[in-house]
A and B are shown apart, each in its own frame.
Chain A
Amino acid sequence: MPSYELAMVLRQMSRPELVSVLKRTAESILDKGCIIRNLENLGTRALPHKISEHGVVHREGSYFTITFDSAPTKISDFMEEFGRDIDIVRRRIFKIEEPEEFQCTLHEEMLPPAYRKDVQEMIDIAKRKQKPKFKYNSGLDYYPFQK
């Protein structure tokens, strides 16, 4: 089962209400046979902009993330279920992926254009796209007759 992260914004509530909402969401995840790995509280603060959700305008919210392992087919069900919850202002689910290892390419990118690989490829493509020109095979680099 791949790992997912649920990031959600809950509406402004008292502490016991907040606990009950979190319990509700966690239980709905567990009921589908998923495993909860982590629950994180990112704090309560003013939203960066007002958000209108379920017919109410929200200006403050509590941020939480839940990391869980689940089957990929159940993600859309979660999104639908949490979308119906009035206390959840916003919910997003992201897949947790290991960052790819790579070498910094800044040095190659800062080279003059003629030395850059992507520029050389572009020049090659332009050369390939040029129309074939008729060759006179006269051995001269100019046309000897009047055109």
Chain B
Amino acid sequence: MLRIIGTVVRSAASSTRSIVTPFSSTTLVQRNISAPVQSDEPIDIPNPYEKERRECILCKHNIVPNYKNIKLLSQFQSPYTGRIYGRHITGLCKQKQEQVEKAIIRAQNCALMPTYHKDMDFFQDPRLFDPEKPVRPHKY
């Protein structure tokens, strides 16, 4: 809001030399007609508090999940039940999560991956996320 006022004020101040301006009737501009352009008036800059744009881990490294890459896919599987972790736990974007789920189901269909547990060979793999601390809260 402050910034909008600032731009209005400055445009009005620059047009004071002309005789009639559409803004001249407002009290806000009238108060500023006499005042010169000051150094401490609001300036037009992008929001300094804007957060950095985040990317999910697969988009960052530009990975397309494939159903034959079971070592990668098993990282998105629960070691206890073999269930695919949801988006609130994996921290993936919508499209990547969909691709991962599709690839895992494909791999399970081709008997490449177990459905009710995680492959024992991949138990020591580094964890991409912590299921105990979901990215977003969930109802369970």
Q: Which residues of A contact B (CB under 8 A)?
A: 7, 9, 42, 47-49, 51, 61, 63, 65, 89-90, 92, 94, 99-100, 102, 104-107, 109-110
18 contacts between A and B (CB under 8 A): A42-B68, A49-B111, A63-B110, A63-B112, A65-B68, A94-B67, A99-B99, A102-B95, A104-B59, A104-B96, A105-B95, A106-B56, A106-B59, A106-B93, A107-B55, A110-B54, A110-B135, A110-B136
A99 close to B106 (CB less than 8 A): no
- Are A106 and B91 neighbours in the complex by a CB distance under 8 Å? yes
**What 7 A-B pairs have minimum CB-CB distances, sorted nearest first?**
A48-B114, A104-B59, A106-B93, A104-B55, A7-B110, A106-B56, A107-B54
Instruction: Tell me, rounded to whole Å, the shortest Cβ–Cβ distance linking B128 to chain A.
Output: 14
Q: Given A104-B56, A106-B55, A110-B54, verify A49-B91 contact (CB < 8 Å).
A: no
Query: Does B64 lie at the interface of the complex (its beta carbon under 8 Å from any beta carbon of A)?
Result: yes
The secondary-structure label for the interface of chain B is loop
Instruction: For the complex formed, measure the closest distance between the CB of B70 and the CB atoms of chain A, giving whole angstroms.
Output: 9
- Are the C-beta atoms of A107 and B53 separated by less than 8 Å? yes
Question: Which residues of B are in contact with A by a Cβ distance under 8 Å?
Answer: 51, 53-56, 59-60, 64, 67-68, 91-96, 99, 106, 109-116, 119, 135-136
Using A105-B94, A106-B92 as known contacts, say yes or no to A99 and B64 having CB atoms under 8 A apart.
Answer: yes
CA distance A100 to B59 in the complex (A): 13
Chain B residues whose C-beta falls within 8 Å of the C-beta of A47 in the assembled complex: 111
In angstroms, Cα B87 to Cα A55, docked, is: 40
- A42 — which chain B residues lie within 8 A by C-beta? 68, 112
Whose C-beta in chain A lies nearest to the C-beta of B55?
A104
Closest Cβ of chain A to B55, distance in Å, is 4
Please, which residue of chain B has its CB at the minimum distance from the CB of A49?
B114
Q: Are the CB atoms of B106 and A94 closer together than 8 Å?
A: yes
